[in-house]
Structure 1
Amino acid sequence: MNSTLLDWLKTLSRICGFETADSFPPGHPYARTRWEAAYFDIASDVKPDEIERRLCAAIANTPSVFAYIVNPTPRMQRALLNVIHERLRRQPGVGATDLILLLIHAYASPHITEVVPGLRQLIHDTEHEQTNLRAHAILELLTATPRGLDVIDMPR
């Protein structure tokens, strides 16, 4: 009886928004996506589309928070790729290696949806390379991808 009551109270608390969400609701297409609730103050009663929008806005404002998301959605990945693009456009001499490393770390999960065709394979193929070489190879892939995929379109 106690476990049933506790389960009911947890469900009620989540529905009323008294908890901080750390994942999409059960049954959502990206239910495996998780984030550190301490970095994203999102009430549990917020709709999934709004949750994703808030997470993408947080990535756009502070890209380092991408490190606290497990199995980021394609939209979240594109938010990071847009930040990489902007950084390269504004400061061509300054690399985006730190952001590329966040992307590499995210692709360590077999459950992440690949946003750029060939990215997972490239990350796997370069896993024994030095960090700078891996980042450079990934940037080359991203710059060669058509702009229609909302990824980097940087002149060579």
Structure 2
Amino acid sequence: MPLLHVLSSLLGRASRALGLESIDAFPPGHRYADTRWDKACFDIPSDYRPERIDQAMAEAIANTPSVFAWIEHPTPRMQSALLGVIHARLRRGGTPPNELLAMLIEAYASPRTHEALPGLRAAIAGTSGYDPSMRVAHLAAWLADMPAAFDVIDAQPGR
């Protein structure tokens, strides 16, 4: 029986190293090791490096913002992807993206969620105890007053 356990463990490690498995978290010891996601919503190969994981997750959120609900303790980059979608919808006018704002508020219910924008945690915490619809409205107003930080294109130094 121990031999079977050893072989199973070795096959599992080889499968992960070759990227044949999907993962649901950053590697242990990583800066965002608390971040977790549902493997059914995000097919992240096990051989991705942490930077590529974060990038793939942000791309998925930008394409389908509702998947943000399936992430615990999203990284600032993941939040920025959602904030970009929220900002674009706020700029277009019409009804605010209440469901996306509610997901962001929910993410900040945990102190282990890293802050994506200076003052965002305080803005959300300032509405604690309010009716959920009021929290969403206050956050939408706070974000609408923010400078167009999401219109800035990230550039590599020296290019």
For normalisation by structure 2, the TM-score amounts to: 0.83
Match of 1:132 in 2: 133
Structure-1 separation of matches of 2:51 and 2:118: 24
Give the letter aligned to residue 84 of structure 1: I
Structure-2 separation of matches of 1:7 and 1:71: 29
- Output one character per residue of 1:48-79: Cα deviation in whole Å (capped at 9) or x when no partner: 21111111111111100000011111011010
Match of 2:65 in 1: 63
- Output one character per residue of 1:22-55: Cα deviation in whole Å (capped at 9) or x when no partner: 1111222111111100001111111221111111
Match of 1:115 in 2: 116
TM-fit CA distance, 1:118: 2.4
Partner of 1:128: helix, strand, or coil? coil
User: Bigger shift: 6-15 or 66-75?
Assistant: 6-15
Give the letter aligned to residue 49 of structure 2: K
Partner of 2:112: helix, strand, or coil? coil
Structure-1 separation of matches of 2:98 and 2:21: 35
Match of 2:41 in 1: 39
Structure-1 separation of matches of 2:52 and 2:139: 30
RMSD value, Cα = 2.0
Structure-1 separation of matches of 2:112 and 2:6: 31
**How many corresponding residue pairs?**
149
CA contact (8 A) 2:96 2:140 kept: no
Structure-2 separation of matches of 1:7 and 1:32: 24
- Output one character per residue of 1:88-117: Cα deviation in whole Å (capped at 9) or x when no partner: 222x12211111000011111111111122
Q: What runs of 5+ residues in structure 1 fail to find an aligned partner?
A: 152-156
Q: What runs of 5+ residues in structure 2 fail to find an aligned partner?
A: 152-159
Partner of 1:111: helix, strand, or coil? coil
Structure-1 separation of matches of 2:136 and 2:38: 26
Q: Which runs of structure 2 are paired with 1:4-153 in the superposition (5 Å)?
A: 6-90=8-92, 92-148=93-149, 150=150
